[in-house]
Chain A
Amino acid sequence: EPEVTQTPSHQVTQMGQEVILRCVPISNHLYFYWYRQILGQKVEFLVSFYNNEISEKSEIFDDQFSVERPDGSNFTLKIRSTKLEDSAMYFCASRRDTAKGETQYFGPGTRLLVL
């Protein structure tokens, strides 16, 4: 069964460093998403991506964040200058389309720890 994959599974970085989180969505999916979950808190939407551009983003997704689909398979989230409060699980998700009956499938997550 196709699944969303994410690398790395864990990342430790120093405050102020740049990190890139990588995702490989399900191959025939068209919509891609990033969510984050701070320990003990809700899963929160960050950004959605369709047709090589951002379609929606939350107030969390500020200028420190960017997303890219550099090739036909990878989808990346970059945090330019990490802050302590960026420590969280980051989940990538993908969806085939937005028709009724279609929903999102999540990857296993990347645990980011900013020291």
Chain B
Amino acid sequence: QKEVEQDPGPLSVPEGAIVSLNCTYSNSAFQYFMWYRQYSRKGPELLMYTYSSGNKEDGRFTAQVDKSSKYISLFIRDSQPSDSATYLCASDSGSARQLTFGSGTQLTVLP
């Protein structure tokens, strides 16, 4: 069972574009949602963390959760070449709140 599904990409956009990254999840037990950024051959780096439906903004990044449709999104405004990375959505469950990841979307922002 694929509990977190993510648009695979790859996605290529020009610098300054608005980027939309999306995931769906199937496990109703998921309560907390994260977006991680992963550069090639590096560890996931936490970008955004949210636990309620609605929007959460941090600089150029906005995370959106719709629990009724089990849909999570990350928007990047004014994208920069340095945003080029793989973006992973994740949710946690279980007593230890271990993470279930999506497959990742590879984003390239072209200068």
Contacts and interface: CB of A to CB of B under 8 A. Distances in A.
B99 A45 contact: yes
B94 A89 contact: no
B45 interface: yes
Contact of A56 (B43, B46, B96): B96
Interface residues of B, number: 25
A104 B99 contact: yes
Given A103-B49, A108-B42, 10 more contacts: A33-B96, A33-B99, A42-B104, A45-B99, A50-B96, A100-B32, A103-B46, A104-B97, A104-B99, A109-B41
Given A56-B95, A100-B51, A103-B49, A43 B101 contact: yes
A111 B41 CA distance: 8
Interface of A: 4, 31, 33, 35, 41-45, 48, 50, 55-56, 58, 89, 91, 93, 95, 98, 100-101, 103-109, 111
Interface in B7-64: 32, 34, 36, 41-46, 49, 51
Contact of B97 (A44, A98, A109, A111): A98
Contact of B44 (A95, A98, A106): A106
A31 B96 contact: yes
Contact of B98 (A56, A89, A108): A56
A59 to B, nearest CB: 13
Nearest to A107: B43
Contacts of B32: 100, 103
Contacts of B96: 31, 33, 48, 50, 55-56, 98
B44 A91 contact: yes
